[in-house]
Structure 1
Amino acid sequence: MKAVLFDLDGTLIDTAADFIRIIQSMCREQQRPVVDADSIRSQVSEGARAMVKLVYPELAVDDATFLAHRQDFLERYGKQIVVDTDLFEGMYPLLEMLEQHQIPWGIVTNKPRNLSESLLEALDLQQRCSVLVCPDDVTHAKPHPEPMFLAAKQLEINPQQIIYVGDHPRDIEAGRNAEMYTILAAYGYLPVQQRDNLQAWQADCIIENVPQLQQVLQQHLKI
């Protein structure tokens, strides 16, 4: 193995606190029932539409009112993207380990590029990240393998020599479809309905925390 790719939200970076703060603030302002933190956390990986649906479950996603609320959410998030957000505990030394051994690492995410870049810039990761692939860059987002192949091409490394780490079934499916070695980050924002049978995701490896992830990476990268 020669490189490591990460999903963004719930795998590399713990963004849930900012989503929780913004969604609960919207609930209070609109005098809606306040959505509990666990429900928000489990939907972070599903994107802005899922976030707003928690607040307005009765609205169709193509309804003009829903779309206006979605835009409001995106604007709030864009302005407050790193208030309580940070890398998961143990991830800073893990990235330093990869860099010290000249192992390139990057990100393949379904988060829009403008938000992904803002997040990485705020955390001083933009220059350290070897490749960033977002839905804007491809015709088909994860679980399609196209973004995985694009990342491998930009790294100039065979997909079969790349490890992909993610916390959502589509992450593992995308990695498997590209014949990458897949690691399920069970510490992430696992969908509620998928938590009880992680083996069904068919990841090559399941880890419960970042120190475990570091051990697995050291083994497969031979560092």
Structure 2
Amino acid sequence: MIRAVLFDLDGTLADTAADLGAALNRLLAEEGRPPVGYERIRPVASHGARGLIHLGFGIDKQDPEFEDYRRRFLDHYEASFADLTTLFDGINSLLQALEQRGLKWGIVTNKPMRFTDRLVPALPWAVAPAAVVSGDTTGVPKPDPKPMLHAAELLGVPASACLYLGDAERDVEAARAAGMKAIIASYGYISDTDTPETWGADGFIDRPEELLDHL
């Protein structure tokens, strides 16, 4: 029996792509490069700084310029991380339904505490999360299961009694490794080249409220 629900943040609970994209485009402007359109930013927003820098500059973390771009990108994002970010439609009604069923909920994100600790309190939750675990809380991010297990411990619920909702392959991998049920948010930041049907999830939802069917 599911006793708690854990969520990814970017692309699952909150639509953060516009703020992430704005930070990337400010960095590109500094470098004299043209901006990237939102339609190209949204599918890679879940991959954070690494994915967005690759999108904007075509480089990976092995490139000697990567760390400088990453640092500056994060500085731009820090200046406006909540200007355009909103909760996805249906999230608050889902959280209220979870509360009515006596289920706890929490967040497990790869977003650094530097942002999570300020963004989460700034969002208009109908029900506050009972646990928040960031990408650097346990020293390792997803797909390592440690953040998932830590969240379950904070909630006081066995990992096997938790369901995790996310929009990336690493979300499913982490949930599986922690012994949790894994559901994919198809409304999230999934690109045309992703193959979520091969990720091994227990199901898919097109709208947040559909998660109730899996509890």
TM-score under structure 2 length normalisation: 0.90
Aligned partner of 2:53 in structure 1 is 52
Aligned partner of 2:204 in structure 1 is 206
Aligned partner of 2:137 in structure 1 is 137
Aligned partner of 1:147 in structure 2 is 147
Task: Decide whether aligned partners of structure 1 residues 74 and 183 sit closer, same or farther in structure 2, where only a CA change above 3 A counts.
Answer: same
Q: Can you give the 5+ residue segments of structure 2 that lack an aligned partner in the other structure?
A: none
- Pairs within 5 Å for 1:125-204: 125=125, 128-194=128-194, 197-204=195-202
- Pairs within 5 Å for 1:1-223: 1-58=2-59, 61-63=62-64, 65-125=65-125, 128-194=128-194, 197-213=195-211, 215-217=212-214, 220=215
User: Structure 1 stretches (4+) deviating beyond 3 angstroms?
Assistant: 58-62, 124-127
Task: Decide whether aligned partners of structure 1 residues 57 and 126 sit closer, same or farther in structure 2, where only a CA change above 3 A counts.
Answer: farther
Percent of aligned positions that are identical: 38
Q: Residues of 2 paired with 1:58 and 1:199: CA distance? A: 28
Question: Cα offset for 1:52?
Answer: 2.0
- 133-142 vs 87-96, greater mean Cα deviation: 133-142
Matched position secondary structure for 1:136: coil
Question: Cα offset for 1:187?
Answer: 0.6
Question: Cα offset for 1:89?
Answer: 0.6
State the one-letter code of the partner of 2:17. Answer: A
Q: Give aligned pairs, total.
A: 214
Q: Residues of 2 paired with 1:57 and 1:13: CA distance? A: 26
Q: Residues of 2 paired with 1:10 and 1:92: CA distance? A: 15
Question: Cα offset for 1:68?
Answer: 2.4
Question: Cα offset for 1:16?
Answer: 0.7
Q: Is the 8 A contact 2:53 2:59 kept in 1?
A: no
State the one-letter code of the partner of 1:30. Answer: E
Question: Cα offset for 1:139?
Answer: 3.6
Matched position secondary structure for 2:171: helix
Q: Residues of 2 paired with 1:139 and 1:99: CA distance? A: 30
Q: Is the 8 A contact 2:96 2:127 kept in 1?
A: no
**Higher helix residue share:** 1
Q: Can you give the 5+ residue segments of structure 1 that lack an aligned partner in the other structure?
A: none
Q: Residues of 1 paired with 2:69 and 2:20: CA distance? A: 14
State the one-letter code of the partner of 1:209. Answer: R
Q: Is the 8 A contact 1:117 1:126 kept in 2?
A: no
State the one-letter code of the partner of 2:120. Answer: L
Structure 1 residues 29-86: Cα deviation after superposition (integer angstroms, max 9, x where no partner): 43213223232212211121222222222576452x4322221211111120111101
Q: Is the 8 A contact 1:81 1:118 kept in 2?
A: no
State the one-letter code of the partner of 1:205. Answer: G
TM-score under structure 1 length normalisation: 0.87
Q: Residues of 1 paired with 2:166 and 2:62: CA distance? A: 26
Q: Residues of 1 paired with 2:209 and 2:102: CA distance? A: 20
Structure 1 residues 99-158: Cα deviation after superposition (integer angstroms, max 9, x where no partner): 233321001111101211111121155981111112222243211211111111111111
